Amino acid sequence: MTRTRLEQLLLVGVAVLTIGCDHVTKRVASEALFGQPMRSFLADTIRLQYVENPGGFLSLGATWPPAVRVAVFSGLSAVLLVLLLAVAVRHRWPIWPMAGVILCVAGGASNWIDRIAAGCVVDFLNVGYGPIRTGIFNVADVAVMAGGALLLFSMSRQPESPVEATEPAPPTSES
């Protein structure tokens, strides 16, 4: 099955929009929030706070030596993003799982670009209610999480292949 030109354009568009939206929001956050106290909205459900994150998810690895951080968050993440995209393209995944992959790859690539250019990622969003809160994140992180959820959901909803559906039932023993 070949992917239609429209599907290809839509997937490329999703990637470009994801990276563009992430970079625009990080720039706005940098200009509006840098050096400012945390801002709270909707009865403290949403918090905006400027944070430079040299680590990964929830600042994992932020205290690692710089060479290790570069190797893991720049080198290893680039390899994983390329492998994920290559597997999806090679196996010609359907449109919805592929859209999940594109969101994951675009979000990961956007943060990767920031790590290469600045050595860190700008995070600025935090949501929650009372003491139950997320870590501070950005739009690229939302894309990765949404893409992962879409990928898992769409893959779990795939119909059985014709070979699996037509296999004979196992023999039963009769007494």
**What would the pLDDT profile of 38-72 be if each residue is shown by its tens digit?**
999 999 999 999 999 998 887 888 899 988 988 88
Q: For residue 163, name the pLDDT band (cuts at 50, 70, 90).
A: very low
Q: Which residue has the tokens 């997937």?
A: 11
* pLDDT of the residue at 54: 92
Q: Largest Cα–Cα distance of the chain, in whole Å?
A: 80
pTM: 0.83
H or E element that contains 72 = none
- CA-based R_g, the chain, Å: 21
Domain boundaries, the chain: 10-155
pLDDT at 165: 46
Contacts of 60 (CB under 8 A, 6+ apart): none
Q: In the numeric block, which tokens belong to residue 34?
A: 């840098």
167 pLDDT above the threshold of 60:
no
Cα–Cα distance list, 109 to 66, 74, 80, 130, 131 (Å): 20, 10, 11, 33, 32
Tokens linked to 120: 């860190």
Average pLDDT over residues 136-161: 89
Quote the pLDDT of residue 162: 47
- The sign of the dihedral angle between the CA atoms of 109, 112, 116, 121 is positive
Q: 68-94 burial by CB neighbour count: b if 16+ within 10 A, else e?
A: ebbeebeeebeeebeebbeebeeeebe
Mean of the per-residue pLDDT values of the chain:
89
pLDDT of residue 2: 63
Condensed to tens digits (0 to 9), the pLDDT of residues 75-118 reads 888 999 999 999 988 988 899 999 999 999 999 999 999 999 99
